Structure 1
């Protein structure tokens, strides 16, 4: 989850796409999606689902960065469940692509199976980039997926956009509102403008992954899960967005 490693991995996405034969890439994606769709079909329908996409090297399952936020939301807003994006979360250049495909597959399937179910996207580190990649397919505000997505919370986002609506630090302030993500550029897919009112993009001051120009030598990127301010901001935002859509 270090900035230089993440940058290397994401840049390698494009090299990875060229290096894999199309048949190899299709086979990898198909295997990942098959595993994912089994868990999706078993999930059932809820009032809302929290879809967590974990960071680089985190084990498959929930991201530690959202533990308290998820627990508080499920406790305070009835009728919810958590779903985890199944993907490698590795330094491999194909990892974000596999994650994007798994997340898109879940979203497409979810709105067909459960058209009244609300969706929340939670992404940490590489998971933020995966979420941004997936959202590129749902910029039409009349689409079922766009309308189902009620909130997005990103932590330590490597494609953090300066001055984007929803940018806050761990105290809800603006100290990182102008921060540049480690792989942010005019050519990198970021959260589409259509979602600007649905996003909280939380970046710690000095987190080299989302605040590359102001790195803290102590590497604060792993601190999101243990900071009450981060968890409270996310919990309050999710509750507000979910209850407003009732």
Structure 2
């Protein structure tokens, strides 16, 4: 997606010189029906997260008019890493509200990316941006909240629903609020063997890295996103 900032001089040129200048202003309408904002996990390189590639691809093919944006942040263990991601995500949506007011957003967070996503939607709750958010989706969420009906395991069952994420005790307010649970917009996927979202151990177990390679997870995610943007 491309956003164009128009100066008063360009606008004046459009008025004074007619169709040719007006044609240069068409970028203002270069908006999408929806944007899937992907926030990768710790250690993944900048770019698409492996955790969401299948579900994003399926969604974009099934519901036309969408695009993807990979949130820009370090995704490392530095203290400010998460906050950098939060700022990029929020700035993207705020800018989008100004340039593409009808555009919708899906926010997808994997591991540390889930922390970024959760923090951002907490900040955006009660603002105009909340209405523009059509879906939120988390995998390997370290701030998973016990008992929420939005939590499913890797096959769509509820076996991981009664677990708190490994980091929830550090700041319970980051966990998904009931406001978002009842909104119908949220899906939280936690693999049975994932120590991060089940709170078993701070060291990620092997299943924490397998969401992107698990067909049922990608199917669950795609079905949720398609249902929210069709």
Q: TM-score range by the shorter chain?
A: 0.7 to 0.9
2:147 to 159, 163, 170: 163
Q: How far apart, CA to CA, are the structure 1 residues paired with 2:203 and 2:121?
A: 30
List runs of 5+ in structure 2 lacking aligned partners: 5-26
| SS state at 2:68 partner | strand
Once the two structures are overlaid, the 10-residue window that deviates more, 85-94 or 209-218, is 209-218
CA shift for structure 1 position 122: 0.7
Alignment of 1:184-223 (within 5 A): 184-185=168-169, 187-196=172-181, 197-213=184-200, 219-223=206-210
CA shift for structure 1 position 104: 1.0
Segments ≥4 residues shifted beyond 4 Å: 214-218
Q: Retained in 1: the 8 A contact 2:156–2:220?
A: yes
| SS state at 2:51 partner | helix
Once the two structures are overlaid, the 10-residue window that deviates more, 149-158 or 189-198, is 189-198
- For residues 204-228 of structure 1, the C-alpha deviation after alignment (integer angstroms, 9 at most, x for no partner) is 0121111113899952100000001
* Correspondence for 2:74: 88
Alignment of 1:1-246 (within 5 A): 41=3, 44-140=30-126, 143-185=127-169, 187-196=172-181, 197-213=184-200, 219-243=206-230
Q: Retained in 2: the 8 A contact 1:167–1:176?
A: yes
Q: TM-score, normalised by structure 2?
A: 0.83
The number of equivalent residue pairs is: 203
Once the two structures are overlaid, the 10-residue window that deviates more, 204-213 or 166-175, is 204-213
Q: Retained in 1: the 8 A contact 2:196–2:203?
A: no
- For residues 56-91 of structure 1, the C-alpha deviation after alignment (integer angstroms, 9 at most, x for no partner) is 010001100001101100000000000010000011
| SS state at 2:69 partner | strand
List runs of 5+ in structure 1 lacking aligned partners: 1-38
CA shift for structure 1 position 165: 2.9
Q: Taking CA–CA contacts closer than 8 Å with sequence separation of 6 or more, which of the two structures ends up with the larger relative contact order?
A: 1
Q: How far apart, CA to CA, are the structure 2 residues paired with 1:178 and 1:214?
A: 16
Q: Retained in 2: the 8 A contact 1:139–1:192?
A: no
